[in-house]
Structure 1
Amino acid sequence: MLILLPPSEGKTPPLTGDPVDLGALTNPGLTRHRRAVLTALRRASARRDALTTLGVGASLADEVARNTRLDVEPAGRAADVYSGVLYAAAHLSSLEDEAADRARTSVVTVSALWGAVGPDDRIPAYRLSMGTDLPPIGPLAQSWRPHLESALAPRALGDVVVDCRSAPYVAAWRPARGTDWVTVRVLRELDGRRSVVSHNAKHTRGLLVRYLLTRAGEPPRSSEDVHKAAHELVGTTLLDATHTTSTSGGSVLELVVG
């Protein structure tokens, strides 16, 4: 099982610790491009037009300023730094024993800055989204695509990919056609009608991730296994869980909440 997560917009800056060591992060084949993006981000964040370039408002000026110091800022476990809605529901930082081991081997956060990191990788808090056109790198999703293909395609081969990412991060790497790839969608049912939800979707995906990592028995090895595991939540967390083939490749797991 390979679980793909987006980074959270909300991040908790570590208060102490050594700075990030790019060479110590998982997927060392990404180190060279990580360094190039990090350098470009530091320079762009120091410019007068930094907020415009990064597509953020004035309220995030302090976070953009932190980008200029990422080589000296304290780094902490990605499971602690990413602290948004999905991660709060998944509680990756509290996993223990077999569940923690499963997370180390299964969970990958696809990042605009780091490419792909695991829960134990030590990173600083930063502000950068995959939809950014970062000079001189260019559109980040496009720039990361060949590097993530090299890093993630071998890992996905022969396994099931559980994809909880948002569209900009899917654009950075899509599993090859034929991969057992499950995209997780969340729907709300109200008065018998179902509609797509956004904010609550992150929470529900986080609950699914937590369950896949902590449930007893072997981890899922196929999309059918993922659907069976999700269906175990029907009646508690979920109203329904359905699994259908996608026309764009792979399949879709729809989680229905009330």
Structure 2
Amino acid sequence: MLLLLPPSETKVQGGTGRSLLLRQLSFPELTAVRSRVLNAVVELSRDPEAAIRALKLGPKGHGEVAINRAVRRSATLPAIDRYTGVLYDALDARSLSPEARRFAEDHVVIQSALFGPVGALDPVPGYRLSHSSRLPGLRLTPTWAEAAGPVLERVDGLIVDLRSEGYAELGPVRASDRVAYIRVVAVDDEGRRRALNHFNKKTKGLFTRAVLESGQDFGDIEELAAWAAGAGFSLGPGSAAGEWDLVVPEVALPPTGSTTGARTSSPIG
């Protein structure tokens, strides 16, 4: 089983590991493509004004340009500890048991716009790049889709895709009976379903944490759904082929317009 997660634009800075070594990342067959994207990011960072426009940085984000310029020599952290934001706050990877972190090492992949799919414990530096960023002479979506999609499809077993649409396009996996794309929806008293934003991310983080702590390598989506029911989650077939709905009851949500439990962070989709 493989859990595919999106990254976050917000990240922990600094680190405790040595500087980046591309060949140490999971899926080493992607090293050449990673190098191309990395070179384009570093080259862009040499022109701060162009980088600010390409990365869509506001005044408080201008320092991200210097972070990208130093990305090759910066200290690293395990990928699952690098990202912050709503999903990763709910996942709270640093407080996982040692057994759950070892399980994550084998069963979690994060879809980075800079490095492509990386393992949960792969050492990565801080950086700023999203799936919609524009790099000179390089188009991120087709570049990663062509390289990363086939690599992910070669992974054996169930693929549980928790990525947002933009990041799923960086590493598309064709629909099949072993691929489940997870949507988070709310259901009202009349059975009507609606997609969520903030609680989409939070629910995905909580769900991922529960799977990791369970330590179970599920063979198919039906087996995962049966476990989910006992773990306090409702997971069932969605409206489209290959989609599964992770349901949040409307009664569990704050009133419309409430900011309870929300936090300010860059969107991860």
| TM-score w.r.t. length of structure 2 | 0.85
Q: CA deviation at 1:39?
A: 0.9
Distance in 1 between the 2:67 and 2:35 partners? Answer: 17
Q: CA deviation at 1:115?
A: 0.5
Query: Identity over the aligned pairs, expressed in percent?
Result: 33
2:36 is aligned to: 36
> Residue by residue, what CA displacement relative to the aligned partner does 1:199-231 show, whole Å, maximum 9, x if unpaired?
111110011111111126x32110101211222
User: After superposition, where does 1:58-73 map in structure 2 within 5 Å?
Assistant: 58-73=59-74
Unmatched tracts of structure 1, length 5 or more: none
Q: CA deviation at 1:44?
A: 1.1
1:106 is aligned to: 107
Q: Counterpart of 1:75 in structure 2: which amino acid?
A: T
> Residue by residue, what CA displacement relative to the aligned partner does 1:107-135 show, whole Å, maximum 9, x if unpaired?
00011100111121111111100122311
Distance in 2 between the 1:13 and 1:54 partners? Answer: 18
Q: After alignment, is 5-14 or 177-186 more displaced?
A: 177-186
2:132 is aligned to: 131
1:211 is aligned to: 210
CA contact (8 A) 1:213 1:219 kept: no
Q: CA deviation at 1:253?
A: 2.7
Distance in 1 between the 2:143 and 2:125 partners? Answer: 22
Distance in 2 between the 1:16 and 1:213 partners? Answer: 24
Q: CA deviation at 1:57?
A: 1.8
Q: Counterpart of 1:21 in structure 2: which amino acid?
A: L
Unmatched tracts of structure 2, length 5 or more: 253-269
Distance in 2 between the 1:196 and 1:149 partners? Answer: 26
- The change in CA–CA distance for 1:50 and 1:97 in structure 2 (over 3 A counts) is closer
Q: Secondary structure at 1:134's aligned position in 2?
A: coil
Q: Counterpart of 1:71 in structure 2: which amino acid?
A: R
Q: Secondary structure at 1:195's aligned position in 2?
A: strand
CA contact (8 A) 1:92 1:119 kept: no
Q: Secondary structure at 1:133's aligned position in 2?
A: coil
| TM-score w.r.t. length of structure 1 | 0.89
Q: Secondary structure at 2:208's aligned position in 1?
A: helix
Is 1:18–2:9 an aligned residue pair?
no
Q: CA deviation at 1:165?
A: 0.5
Q: Secondary structure at 2:154's aligned position in 1?
A: helix
CA contact (8 A) 1:14 1:81 kept: no
Is 1:180–2:178 an aligned residue pair?
yes
- The change in CA–CA distance for 1:64 and 1:230 in structure 2 (over 3 A counts) is farther
Distance in 2 between the 1:189 and 1:178 partners? Answer: 26
How many equivalent residue pairs?
Answer: 248
CA contact (8 A) 2:91 2:205 kept: yes
2:81 is aligned to: 80
> Residue by residue, what CA displacement relative to the aligned partner does 1:88-146 show, whole Å, maximum 9, x if unpaired?
212223333432222111100011100111121111111100122311112x1211012
